[in-house]
Amino acid sequence: MPKRTDIKTILIVGSGPIIIGQACEFDYSGTQAARTLKNLGYKVVLINSNPATIMTDPEFADSTYIEPIEADVISEIIKKEKVDAILPTMGGQTALNISMKMFEQGLLKNVEFLGANPDSISKGEDRSKFKNIMNEIGIEVAKSRYAYNYEDGLKIPEEIPFPVIVRASFTLAGGGSGVAYNIEEYRDLIRIALDASPVNEILVEESLLGWKEYEMEVIRDRNDNCIIVCSIENVDPMGVHTGDSITVAPAVTLTDKEFQTMRNASFKILRAIGVDTGGSNVQFSINPEDGRMIVIEMNPRVSRSSALASKATGYPIAKVATLLAVGYTLDEIENDITKTTASFEPTIDYIVTKIPKFTFEKFPDANSTLTTSMKSVGEVMAIGRSFKESMQKALCSLEEDLTGFDSISDDKDFIKKEVTRANSMRILYVADAFRVGFSIDDVYELCKIDKWFLYHIYAIVDTEKDITIDILSNEELLRKVKSFGFSDLMIASLINKNDNIDEISQNDIYNARITLGIIHQYNEVDTCSAEFEAITPYLYSTIPPIKH
């Protein structure tokens, strides 16, 4: 069906101040939404309290309000601008929460919800309702109990033994959540969680520590056309917030059967929750010991991961979700890159790695151990033909003077402690563990990072000993090392270390590569793995392991 003509003015609610878990990702989605709606001829009204955003630039909306995102302010804007509909799914948890609050207070009686209706939002965000719906449709969730006050919360460990995971409802970036290993930690955590939840609801779950975690970026339209835009896998096991975990796309350790089961479950969940005009993010966990799969949660909105998935695949999730919200279906929307329809599921022939960025040095009193409550302040993304390449490219992008898997320590006891403890540098300590003699099985038992990832990190470390001055004239070895993602600076450092010299520079490696014909090639991010001609792709650089 064509775009809706019964609505004229649409309000987009932004995400407000930049805070942990809610930053430029929602400026990205809000900007896409505003531009899309304006191009369709709607009057776009936008509110965001943060002027340091692209979406608040004058050209994106017809009316822009840099005001506090509060019910009374939004009510006045709705009256003044004669708003017909509100799009609450592009501004993260802030936009969703204020929209639901206004709906419950009766302040949106004549304003229609686009993207997700209040009933769907409530089913997806209220952990109690979500659990009941999952039970009804036969999708397993973790064993859990709910509490609405401190006294009831104290009774739960009688039924669910420690360790337990405590989650606060309707919060951003896992706010108020954490893992309790004993009653003392538990008492403190449930106080924090109850205070963090705007509805004073907490969920206490059985521990899933060590399980593998996945996300599915899903889109569904009103005709029940469903697609998976991107699957994402956490490198860190359960117990670390997704925003604080290194992640890769597509998921790499799922069997085809597991992927199809997860894909079908995602569609089933969106249907049950009632999301039929936009994108959602569904999170799953799998027990590596027996393959048991559970659903963790879902976000009935464009999520923080949606921006990552969009850039990883070239599929504009926020734009497509906006078009669906105003009446289009997936088969009516054109893929900007290939000019095919948006109902084709993206396919990628490369690996995308995301590494979170932390600034604990600015907060010396903060606990640097990573938990289910998000602590990162940003992230970098890299694309490569392999996990090895994209991982090392991402490490170099962190602006922390890393040249790849730089060594931090050779103290076995300290390394063992830091591999066990979830922290921002754990992946580097994993590499150090291999350098000092730990096996893949040893490291797995310490951190529960899947052996697939550990194998590739081990291969990188094992290659380091082969990097000597002779590599400068060995085209095959230098090409292999570069295809593993080693930076020129890292190669130079390893030559100097292995040969006990101090004269090889980054430029020497570059000049040797040029002489040997080892140069970057540029591949397309085209959403379709070259199945169709790409009209407007963007590119990533890579060095192929074999000369073409």
The string of pLDDT tens digits covering residues 488-523 is 999 999 999 999 998 899 999 999 999 999 999 998
Check residue 173 and give its pLDDT: 60
Mean pLDDT of 156-185: 83
One-letter amino acid at 181 equals: Y
Is residue 354 a contact partner of residue 388, using CB atoms and an 8 Å limit?
no
What pLDDT was estimated at residue 169?
Answer: 79
Sign of CA dihedral 144, 149, 150, 151: negative
Per-residue tokens: 434: 């291999």
Residue type, 509: I
CA 171 to CA 168: how far, in whole Å?
Answer: 6
The answer to the question of residue 181 being in a domain is: yes
Q: How many H-runs (helices) and E-runs (strands) does the chain carry?
A: 18, 18
Residues 221 and 306 in one domain: yes
Beta strands in 152-291 (DSSP E): 164-168, 178-180, 202-206, 212-220, 226-234, 247-249, 278-286
- Is 524 within the bounds of a domain? no
Cα-Cα end-to-end distance for the chain: 47
With pLDDT > 90 as the criterion, what percentage of the chain qualifies? 63
Mean pLDDT of the chain: 91
CATH, residue 263 = 3.30.470.20
CATH number, domain at 70? 3.40.50.20
Q: Once rounded to an integer, what is the mean pLDDT over residues 48-55?
A: 87
Query: Containing H/E element for 77?
Result: helix 71-81
Do 186 and 216 fall within a single domain? Answer: no
pLDDT value for 473: 96
- Domain of 443 in residue numbering reads as 405-464
| pLDDT tens for each residue of 84-121 | 999 998 888 888 889 999 999 999 999 999 988 999 99
Mean pLDDT of 530-541: 76
Q: What is the pLDDT of residue 239?
A: 87
Same domain assignment for residues 213 and 339: yes
Please report which helix (H) or strand (E) contains residue 86, including its range: strand 85-87
How far is it, in rounded angstroms, from Cα 102 to Cα 79?
14
Residue 202 has a CB neighbour count (10 Å cut-off) of 31
Q: Is residue 33 part of a domain?
A: yes
pLDDT, residue 482, reads: 97
Q: What is the pLDDT of residue 107?
A: 95
Are 148 and 266 members of one domain?
Answer: no
Let me know: does 240 contact 422? Beta carbons within 8 Å: yes
- 3 state SS of 206: strand
pLDDT bracket for residue 264 (50, 70, 90): very high
Query: Would 217 be classed as within a structural domain?
Result: yes
Q: Across-strand partners of 379?
A: 356
Show the tokens assigned to 365. 């009193």
Q: What is the pLDDT of residue 172?
A: 62
Q: Which residue has the higher pLDDT, 433 or 338?
A: 433
Q: In this structure, are strands 202-206 and 63-65 parallel, antiparallel, or unpaired?
A: unpaired
Pair (75, 169) in one structural domain:
no
* Structural domain includes residue 542: no
- The upper half-sphere exposure of residue 5, i.e. CA atoms within 13 Å in the direction of its Cβ, equals 2
Does residue 530 carry a pLDDT above 70?
no
Question: Same domain, yes or no, for 195 and 80?
Answer: no
pLDDT in tens, 57-83: 989 999 999 999 999 999 999 999 999
Q: What are phi and psi of 334, to 5 degrees?
A: -90, 135
Greatest C-alpha distance within the chain: 75
CA 113 to chain centre: 26
Q: 199 pLDDT exceeds 90?
A: no
Give the burial string for 392-408 (b: 16+ CB within 10 Å, else e): bbbbbbbeeebbbbbee
How much of the chain, in percent, has pLDDT values that exceed 70?
A: 98
Q: Pairing mode, if any, of strands 112-113 and 85-87?
A: parallel
pLDDT band at 174 (very low <50, low <70, confident <90, very high): low
Tokens describing residue 481: 């090392």
What SS3 state is found at 295?
A: strand
Domain co-membership, 217 together with 344? yes
Going by their DSSP bridges, the two strands 144-147 and 202-206 should be labelled as antiparallel
**Which residues are CB-contacts of 339 (< 8 A; sequence separation ≥ 6)?**
532, 535
> Residue 21 pLDDT more than 70?
no
Query: Residue 242, SS3?
Result: helix
Q: What tokens appear for 300 in the block?
A: 């009935």
* Sign (positive or negative) of CA dihedral 176, 375, 269, 236: negative
Looking at residue 66, its pLDDT comes to 95
- CA 52 to chain CA centroid, Å, is 23
- The confidence band for 377, taking pLDDT boundaries of 50, 70 and 90, is confident
**CATH classification of the domain holding 433:** 1.10.1030.10
Helix 451-464 vs helix 426-435: angle between axes, to the nearest 10 degrees?
A: 60
The SS3 of residue 231 is strand
Q: Considering the domain boundaries, does residue 315 fall inside one? A: yes
Is residue 354 assigned to a domain? no
| Alpha carbons 437 and 354: distance in angstroms, whole number | 28
Beta sheet of 202-206, edge-to-edge order: 144-147, 202-206, 164-168, 178-180
Verify that 164 and 42 share a domain, yes or no: no
Same domain for 200 and 214?
no
CATH of the domain at 150: 3.30.1490.20
380-418 pLDDT, tens digit per residue, is 999 999 999 999 999 999 999 999 999 999 999 999 999
* Residue finishing a domain among 175, 206, 237: 206
Number of domains in the chain: 4
Q: Hunting for tokens 């965000």 — which residue is that?
A: 125
Assess whether pLDDT exceeds 90 at residue 167.
Answer: no
pLDDT of 210 strictly over 80:
yes
Residue 58 belongs to some domain of the structure: yes
Q: What is the total residue count of the chain?
A: 548
Question: Are 419 and 439 spatial neighbours (Cβ–Cβ below 8 Å)?
Answer: no
What is the pLDDT, as a whole number, of residue 525?
84
Which of 114, 132, 167 delimits the end of a domain? Answer: 114
pLDDT tens for residues 275-317?
A: 888 788 999 999 999 999 999 988 888 877 888 888 888 888 8
Place of tokens 């909306």: 61
Checking if the pLDDT of 23 tops 70, the result is no
CB 246: neighbour CB atoms within 10 A? 22
Q: How many CB atoms lie within 10 A of CB 432?
A: 23
| Same domain? 22 vs 67 | yes
295 and 223 in a common domain: yes
**What is the Cα–Cα distance from 100 to 71, expressed in whole angstroms?**
10
Residue 350 has pLDDT above 80, yes or no: yes
pLDDT at 378: 86
Round to whole Å and give the CA distance between 298 and 213: 13
Please report which helix (H) or strand (E) contains residue 97, including its range. helix 92-104
Do 194 and 231 share a domain, yes or no? no
Structural domain ending residue among the three candidates 177, 206, 235: 206
pLDDT at residue number 18: 77
- Under 8 Å between Cβ of 242 and 360: no
For 363, residues 6+ apart whose C-beta sits below 8 A from its C-beta are none
Per-residue buried b or exposed e for 504-530, using 16+ beta carbons within 10 Å of the residue's own CB: beeebbeebbeebebeeeebbbbbbee
pLDDT of amino acid 364: 81
- The tokens of 26 are what? 């929602």
